[in-house]
Amino acid sequence: MEPVRDARVARGMSLDDLIELYRDIHGFMAGHLYEAISILREGLAKSELRILTFTANIVATGLRGIIAQLVESGLFNVIFTTAGTLDHDIARAEGGIYYKGFFEADDRVLAEKNIHRLGNVFIPVENYGPKVEGFVRRLVEEASKESREWPLYKLLWKAGSMISDENSILRAAWKAGSRIFVPGWPDGAFGTALFMEAQRGSGVKIDYYGDMKELSDIFFTSKGYATGLLIGGGISKHHAIWWSQFRGGLDYVVYITTAVEYDGSLSGARPREAISWGKVKPEAKKTVVYADATIVLPIIAYALLGSQA
């Protein structure tokens, strides 16, 4: 057994030194965070299939740039996320400004002033829906010149190629050649805007079976190891581990969550439960970090990006 060591901070210490302190502190989530970094470093270095999942709420924060950095670096080549990621990424790429707010705001006053609230982030109405709708209209115009039917992941590459914002996740995926899968794509402004364009007769048809065919090609044929960093829960987390069962499960997996497992929800389910479904291998290296992703993901990203950061 390794003893717990008392940690001390020092002026001018590096972030690398801080990460090592978490190993010494060990207790509660400190040790889990250090273990998560160790698992990801080993797994990403060895794996052909490198999966990143996250939910849209963190894309409304400054983490958007860090996620784009992780994607563009090539550390992850398959990404699962929720519909709101498309909305926030496009709205902000189109110049929509999100503001620092507070949880205790009077939402009736915000509604009167045409401001959406996402936690403690304020989003003026004109910086959200209209930005997404305008972009989708241009996207459809360009995409329809090539084809009237698109798998969504390819349409998202097309979208990324039309974005100049270096902090855009869609642009990062296009540049890196990483595929983004959004199983719940109709559940947001992007999906609704695609539908509205189709109603006008100028839209494109989404071939969602094309996405599933791509996923089956990825997961049924992948060789070697597979690593997953799963941030948050919901459909993006489940889609990743659902498809992973068809290759025998993940070999390395880290969950970052604030959900508990005791209500039986997928969001709170731990990797050990996924073993019973064949989604994580029994011998897999795995851990859960119970923490707010806005706090721990920058530390993890720094540790993974290394000299690229």
Closest C-alpha among 185, 141, 176 to residue 157? 176
CA-derived radius of gyration, the chain:
20
Active site residue 158: no
Strand order in the sheet with 280-290: 179-181, 78-81, 47-54, 225-231, 250-257, 280-290
Dist CA 285 CA 59 (whole Å): 28
| Among 131, 237, 279, 286, the one annotated catalytic | 279
Dist CA 25 CA 6 (whole Å): 7
Phi-psi region of 264 (alpha: psi -120 to 50; beta: other; left: phi over 0): left
Instruction: Please answer whether residues 36 and 254 qualify as being in contact, where contact means their C-beta atoms are separated by less than 8 angstroms.
Output: yes
Helix (H, G, I), strand (E, B) or coil at 225: strand
Active site residues: 279
